[in-house]
Structure 1
Amino acid sequence: MTYVVTENCIRCKYMDCVEVCPVDCFYVGENMLVIHPDECIDCGVCEPECPAEAIAPDSDDRAAAWAETNRTYSALWPNITRKGEPPADADEWKTKEDKAKLFSPEPGVP
């Protein structure tokens, strides 16, 4: 089992999860993070740290749609090991639904 970043992260990208990850398995895109499934050790410490509730175990139904996105983009985006500044409007986006259409495939800056 692994953890998956879901669409709730899009446009929020708080990065609190990055600070607690013991194996640095987060990768950064322009407007969201993903977890590399082969690097995640399933410790679960990231899940409660996410203010947007964007992280779920891959056994969770809401994670299924995002598992392949995490796998694909964790191979393309740069690794992030330290928390950065979230977008200025992150709190405004935290509770919005249907953010999948806003997903950007562009890499972010670690």
Structure 2
Amino acid sequence: MTYVIALPCVDVKDRACVDECPVDCIYEGERMLYIQPDECVDCGACEPVCPVEAIFYEDDVPDQWAGYYDINVEFFNELGAPGGAAKIGPVPYDHPTVAALPPQGNH
């Protein structure tokens, strides 16, 4: 099981979750943050600190954002499991679904 970041993060990228994550498994794309499912230890530290309530336990993702589980997993198809976001820094792309979204306003 893992946590999932959904639509409210797009074009916000607050990063409070990154600061809170004890295993450094939250990676930064161009428009949103992504949780690496194989590196996530399900501690839940990220969820309560997200100011836009974009982080959900995988079984609790609201229906309208259910596709974000796959988006988080597929973002890492090329990147793999680098073993820590801090050492690679921001990634210069997003999942194609996120990249295709219109600009998101305040949530």
Settle same-fold status: TM greater than 0.5.
yes
Q: Percent identity?
A: 44
**Shift in Å, 1:76:** 4.0
How far, CA to CA, are the matches of 2:21 and 2:45 in structure 1? 7
C-alpha distance after superposition, 1:31-89 (max 9, x if no partner): 1000011111100000011001000000014253211110111344685339xxxxxxx
> Do structure 1's residue 6 and structure 2's residue 1 form an aligned pair?
no
Distance in 1 (alpha carbons) for counterparts of 2:9 and 2:78: 18
Bigger helix fraction: 2
**Contact between 1:36 and 1:75, CA under 8 Å: does it hold in 2?**
no
Instruction: Give the alignment partner of residue 86 of structure 2, picking from 81, 87, 90.
Output: 81
TM-score calculated relative to the size of structure 1: 0.69
- Report the Cα distance in structure 2 between the residues aligned to 1:75 and 1:18, rounded to whole angstroms: 21
CA contact (8 A) 1:27 1:74 kept: no
Task: Give the RMSD, CA atoms, in angstroms.
Answer: 2.6
Deviations 1:1-42 (A, max 9, x none): 210000110011101000011111111111100001111110
Letter aligned with residue 80 of structure 1? A
Question: 2:61 & 2:72 partners in 1: Cα distance?
Answer: 15
Give 3-state SS (helix, strand or coil) of 1:27's partner.
Answer: strand
The 1-side partners of 2:36 and 2:75 are apart by: 8
- Runs of 5+ consecutive residues of structure 1 not aligned to the other structure: 83-101, 106-110
Give the paired residue count: 88
Which structure is higher in RCO with an 8 Å CA cutoff and minimum separation 6?
Answer: 1
**Unaligned stretches of 5+ in structure 2?**
88-96, 101-107
